[in-house]
Amino acid sequence: MARVTLKTVATAVGVSPATVSNAYNRPDQLSAELRERILAVAAELGFTGPDAAGRALRTGRSGAVGVLLTGHLSYAFSDPYAVALLAGLASTVERTTSIVLLPLPHDEDGEPDLSVVRSASIDALALLSLPASHPAAALARARGISLVTTDRVDDPDASWVAIDDRRTGTLVGEHLAGLGHTDVLVVAPTDEGPSATEVTLVDPPRIDYADYSARLAGLSDALGGRITMVTAGVNDFASGQQVAAWLLGRDALPTAVVGLSDVLALGVLEGLAAAGVDVPGSVSVCGFDDIAAAAPRGLTTVRQPITERGREIGRMLLDPLEPPRQVLMDVELVVRTSSGPARSAR
């Protein structure tokens, strides 16, 4: 059976191919009666519409936006923060635009594999937890792809939706310092994958992700640099539990543990509670983001408007030139039952 094309439908209806194209792409150019007749004939012939790739070549637009993820694709569906952010983004763009999730893998030398950005058919790209100076951003700009980041930058032409991550770290650090904590363990994620078999000390404390790095800097400033940092795998609950098990095997517990995300902090909290450790009597636990699971577990954390942040990112992806193009969202320290005075301060 011969392939049904736009020209096939045009011949059957007795109109030009351009008129058939308008029935799908510019319906305001036709009368309602003519458009309905064209669509009815097309349905009878099994024609589903103009080829998307061809339309992209003609218009220079793909009708899709991309979201670059710093890790495996499963992260977008498993991490509560990512789920809430993407839900907000989708609520803004899904009626008119497709969303393409682009995981950013690394080669065996640890260098980012930019092939996903190089080949993606997208009109705009959101970078989550990556600095605006990342090679993926440079490649997107070179391709003429509009860019929206979660990284706050000074460039007046840049589009971003950010929080002051350094301030979030300062808020937690000042809270703990005010409670007398001087022995603080920071739990950070790594991109090495979920199969990490041991807790690794990171000395000096550092992390490459832009938002986590800023939180770490704020914590260090507020606590006078009196922090120790470990990692036990990706940003998930199990990694936090693994750190709790590691802590229980040591001679002495720190007075406070800070997860650079709520899921890490909640994993630590659960592991300590299961072993009968008094939280916060023996150890205080704090996190960041205020995901939905934080309040029921009494986690002290810094609240950011996750879903609303996603909506703003989506709005900028649809029209990166529409002001405002730079939005700094508010954060708030939420003190709950997981933090209290340090043992030595009682």
Answer yes or no: are the C-beta atoms of 196 and 233 closer than 8 Å: yes
Residues 310 and 296 in one domain: no
Q: What are phi and psi of 98, to 5 degrees?
A: -85, 155
Residues 79 and 138 in one domain: yes
Q: In which domain, by residue range, is 244 found?
A: 165-304+333-345
pLDDT of residue 196: 57
- pTM of this prediction? 0.79
pLDDT of residue 341: 97
Answer yes or no: are the C-beta atoms of 67 and 102 closer than 8 Å: yes
pLDDT of residue 1: 47
Strand partners, 101: 67
User: What CATH number is given to the structural domain containing 44?
Assistant: 1.10.260.40
Rounded to an integer, what is the distance from CA 20 to the centroid of its chain? 41
State the pairing for strand pair 64-69/124-127: parallel
> Which residue's entry shows tokens 């983004």?
89
Q: Does a structural domain hold residue 58?
A: no
Residues 34 and 75 in one domain: no
User: What CATH number is given to the structural domain containing 128?
Assistant: 3.40.50.2300
pLDDT of residue 112: 82
Which three-class secondary structure state does DSSP give residue 186? Answer: strand
pLDDT of residue 90: 92
Domain count, the chain: 3
Distance CA 310, CA 80 (A): 13
E strands within the chain? 64-69, 98-103, 124-127, 146-149, 159-163, 184-188, 200-202, 227-231, 256-259, 284-286, 301-303, 326-329, 332-334
Q: Does a structural domain hold residue 178?
A: yes
pLDDT, mean of each 10-residue run, the chain (346 residues): 77 89 78 89 80 45 81 81 94 85 79 85 88 87 90 89 97 98 94 65 88 95 94 90 95 95 97 96 97 98 97 89 87 98 74
Q: Does a structural domain hold residue 234?
A: yes
Q: How many CB atoms lie within 10 A of CB 15?
A: 18
pLDDT of residue 253: 94
